[in-house]
Amino acid sequence: MAEPLIYAHFWTLQPIMSVIEAARFAARERFSGLEIPCDPLDFWPGEIPAATFEVLAAIRNGEGLSYALYAHAEINPAARDAEQRRANEEMVRRAIETAVALSSPVLCLHPGIASELSLLERQGMPYETRRFNRAEIRRNGWTRAVDAIAGWAELAAQADLTLVVENEVHTKYTVAPRAEDLASMIEAVGRPNVRVNFDTGHAFVGAGLHEELNILEPYVAHVHLNDNATRRSDHLPLGEGVVAFHSIAPFLAGLNGILSLEIYAPDRPVEATLRSRNYLLDVIAKAGPGRAETES
């Protein structure tokens, strides 16, 4: 069995490190790579100094550290407004250029939100009217997202890049509130370089870890690993919540893709990252043959 590709995540380390410091940490601690989100605070495509790319490339070439890029969460494939759609495409183009500069094999995206649904609330008070059908609004947003991602996939294919779309079941107004919606989105896009980024905490909040993986597994090429203790997305370090990672251990052990530790622990990011990797390695070491078992 090949060694798992376990990546540290810059979002976890950002409270105490720059992106270059995080890369050096990941290389020193022998992670396979570092996932870097596009973020105006530290890493915004089009504004990243050339010197930063040079240092990251030196770490990659000298230490064997790989990178993965996460596009900014504000990119909304389901956008209705023409101006926002043009802005989204420009951000995607710049993100693809950045991914190429990092030699990232993937670019992570969200499936998008139907922002019109937020307009049907006033100060948190929704109103119902026969003029607006919420299910239809969401379906129309889903269709726009399919069209947008298909177009971006063509751009990504030219860069030999895979777009991985995250299961965002916990997000208000998402156009893919169920794993089935995301699976059908991938099928509708119909591009070999469009796959799924499977977030374990999001799946837990949704239909359940095993249940969502059972639907999405054929499409998964990238994983965000985090634990959960509530019905919101906690992004806890592994082993600090109640997610039954052992139930998907065979899947984690056999995945031909990146396992990224996207956890929230701003008071102890280094300890949380290292402990989470040890927890994951223990889960993988105990994996038996076969598909994921029913979640306990």
pLDDT digits (tens, 9 = 90+) for 75-106: 999 999 999 999 999 999 999 999 999 999 99
Comparing CA positions, the residue from 33, 14, 24, 20 lying closest to residue 260 is 33
Query: Residue 13's pLDDT is what?
Result: 98
Question: Which tokens hold the place of 21?
Answer: 């410091």
- Cα torsion angle, 87, 105, 236, 296, sign: positive
Give mean pLDDT, residues 228-236: 94
Give, as one character, the DSSP assignment of residue 66.
Answer: E
70-101 as b/e: b if 16+ CB within 10 A? bbbeebbbbbeeeeebeebbebbebbbebbbb
Write phi, then psi, for 261 (nearest 5 degrees). -85, 85
Query: Residue 294's pLDDT is what?
Result: 42
Question: Which tokens hold the place of 143?
Answer: 């269709």
- Cα torsion angle, 62, 68, 73, 76, sign: positive
Give mean pLDDT, residues 247-275: 97
Comparing CA positions, the residue from 69, 74, 72, 73 lying closest to residue 36 is 69
Give, as one character, the DSSP assignment of residue 87.
Answer: H
Distance set, CA 122 to CA 74, 125, 126 (Å)? 22, 5, 6
Query: Residue 289's pLDDT is what?
Result: 56
Query: Residue 288's pLDDT is what?
Result: 65
Other Cβ atoms less than 10 A from the Cβ of 21: the count is 13
Query: Residue 53's pLDDT is what?
Result: 98
Give mean pLDDT, residues 2-15: 95
Comparing CA positions, the residue from 25, 20, 1 lying closest to residue 261 is 25
Contact call for residues 262 and 199 (beta carbons, < 8 A) = yes
Write phi, then psi, for 120 (nearest 5 degrees). -90, 20
Comparing CA positions, the residue from 19, 21, 29 lying closest to residue 7 is 29
Question: Which tokens hold the place of 218?
Answer: 């054929």
Distance in angstroms (rounded) separating the CA atoms of residues 249 and 226 = 14
Query: Residue 295's pLDDT is what?
Result: 42
Give mean pLDDT, residues 179-199: 98
Assign domain 5-285 to a CATH class.
alpha beta
The percentage of residues in the chain with a pLDDT greater than 70, rounded to a whole number, is 96
